[in-house]
Amino acid sequence: MFRNQYDTDVTTWSPTGRLFQVEYAMEAVKQGSAAIGLRSRSHVVLACVNKAQSELSSHQRKIFKVDDHIGVAIAGLTADGRVLSRYMRSESINHSFTYESPLSVGRLVVRLADKAQVCTQRSWKRPYGVGLLVGGLDESGAHLYYNCPSGNYFEYQAFAIGSRSQAAKTYLERRYESFQESSREDLIKDAIMAIRETLQGETLKSSLCTVSVLGVEEPFHFLDQESIQKVIDTFEKVPEEEEDAGEGEAEPEAALVAAGTGEQGGSGDQDVAPMEM
């Protein structure tokens, strides 16, 4: 990425009509570990890779319950994600209190997007460095939205964000047409298989991923390790020895970083603003 003279301030336009600070914030999302969302007519599955800072620490929480009918998966600056999740929870509770009915997902993402936009137009603020996959169920059915740091939001059948998400997106692009009518079990299986794509070579284990489900008559909840492992076992025919050695495998850390930088779409010196779709 080139250092430009128009990128210090979020309130400074570049001559080509871009706000570089906002684009840099979107880069932060690409650096985070992968998060994936898929939806069918009746269910939404959110899954993410558990990447720990070091072997000594536990992994950060990237999927949050907002309400019984809404969940959010984040990628990027997890601290920003935590704060936004708290905001979403508060909005949901206040709406339920006032209207005695659950908050529609579409309404929530608009509020979230407006909040993100404010940070792109104040000189004393910085954009949130987190991408949010908001999945939920309301009267109009199941929805999956992606909220950017830019303040834009888009609805998806399936999407992946974070590092090496392109691999997952390729997998999802092949299969997304079947998701709308998918059963709950197939949707979960597809989510875990998409996660596997982002791991690129690393053996898929239930400890490496977190999966959450919500749907009609099924409030948001996390799947436990055994359920995830059962799904993995249906398609991962890995011999016993390899699985045991999984912990000690010297998966080159360099490979993970290298794959991440290959991700970038619009570079600084191209004229296409990546925010515009």
Closer residue to another protein (CB): 86 or 125? 86
Task: Tell me how far CA of residue 64 lies from CA of 52, 115, 185, in angstroms.
Answer: 17, 19, 21
CB of 134: closest distance to another protein in angstroms?
Answer: 16
CB of 89: closest distance to another protein in angstroms?
Answer: 5
CB of 175: closest distance to another protein in angstroms?
Answer: 34
CB of 39: closest distance to another protein in angstroms?
Answer: 23
Closer residue to another protein (CB): 36 or 134? 134
Closer residue to another protein (CB): 103 or 161? 103
CB 207 within 8 A of CB 247: no
Angstrom distance (rounded) from CA 177 to CA 249: 36
Angstrom distance (rounded) from CA 64 to CA 61: 8
Q: Which is nearest to 202 in space by CA: 161, 258, 246, 152?
A: 246
CB of 223: closest distance to another protein in angstroms?
Answer: 17
Task: Tell me how far CA of residue 234 lies from CA of 26, 213, 228, 237, in angstroms.
Answer: 36, 19, 10, 8
> Which residues lie near another protein (CB under 8 A)?
65, 86, 89-90, 93-94, 96-97
Closer residue to another protein (CB): 221 or 230? 221
Closer residue to another protein (CB): 81 or 149? 81
Write out the E strands in 11-62. 35-39, 43-49
| Cβ atoms within 10 Å, residue 127 | 26
Q: Which is nearest to 88 in space by CA: 62, 64, 121?
A: 64
